[in-house]
Amino acid sequence: MYQLPSPSAIRSLDAIGVLTSGGDAPGMNAAIRALVRTALNQGIKVYGIHRGYSGLLSDDMRRLYSGSVSNIIQRGGTILKSNRCEAFKDPLMRSQAAEVLKTNGIQALVCIGGDGTLTGAHWLACEHDIAVIGVPCTIDNDIHGTDDSIGFDTAVNTALGAIDRIRDTALSHERLFLVEVMGRDSGFLATQVGIACGAEMTLIPERKVDIGAIASTLASARRKGHGSSGIIVVAEGAEPGLTVRLADRLRQCGEEPRICILGHIQRGGSPSAHDRVLASCMGATAVNYLLAGSSDIMVAAVGRDLIAAPLADIIGRRKHDPRLYDLVMQLHK
């Protein structure tokens, strides 16, 4: 269970805004729900901004009430919708966004999302007199400064459930299955899934891949009767096509691999209990930090504690745990 901070309130707020941006992740709705009801209990009005920073620029928002967030905690995706807004990289557009907030009487903003979302939040906080808090929400769990992010646990379990079913066919036909999971720049998802499913091999973007050597190693192990799961977990990586290229090399080695790309199935679905609790704690904590006078910070999970982490120390940095991948490699042997 997370230990929630108890910062002392030093200011009052009349209205705050909340948006979700970037890739959606299971648990976003739970965070929105907790934020809205925590704010309402403090007498603060809440405005939900549709379609992330794009909706902020176009003044696309609506007032949220307690009933607005009823029966959403179990739903995947985000009721506020989301997208990626290239225009927000322009300082002039950020000035326009700040003006929209001020025109609507919104004194503070909570931004829920991944690295791009948190970067936009940092820019807005630095350039304009608006309190901004970030909430980490990404299935990649690659945000620096926090051990956990909303949506990661659900994505791992979604991929694991699919692989457990694929394994039945892999074993029945004594065939290798290359299962591609999300992770363009980060291998956290692939690594956790690889450990949990007992994969024969896990490939991640952080480690250089020699397709020929990997194919030869797998084929040789199969000829010797080693390796029982038939499952190879592959992170999609920044360069598409790794899974297909590996399958082609395996065929040249006499194997008959099959490819299964899980894709966006990992983003959807009902969030796990873990993600619902994490999201609820982070959403409520974001409001409490705003009342305590904080800005330009992210609500981070470090061990069992929720803390305030400066956005300046977080954006542009990728989290990587080589020891976890070393464990993956040990378990493959």
With 0-12 / 13-18 / 19 or more C-beta atoms within 10 angstroms meaning exposed / middle / buried, residue 285 is buried
Q: Are 235 and 189 in contact (CB under 8 A)?
A: yes
Residue 264 carries which DSSP code?
A: G
305 in active site = no
Query: CA–CA separation, 132 vs 294, rounded Å?
Result: 8
59, 115, 129, 140: which is the annotated catalytic residue? 140
Q: Mark 110-131 as b/e (b = at least 16 C-beta within 10 Å).
A: bbbbbbbbbbbbbbbbeeeebb
Q: Are 281 and 306 in contact (CB under 8 A)?
A: yes
- Beta strand extents in the chain (DSSP E only): 15-20, 45-49, 61-64, 108-113, 131-136, 177-181, 201-203, 231-235, 258-261, 297-302, 305-310
Catalytic residues: 140
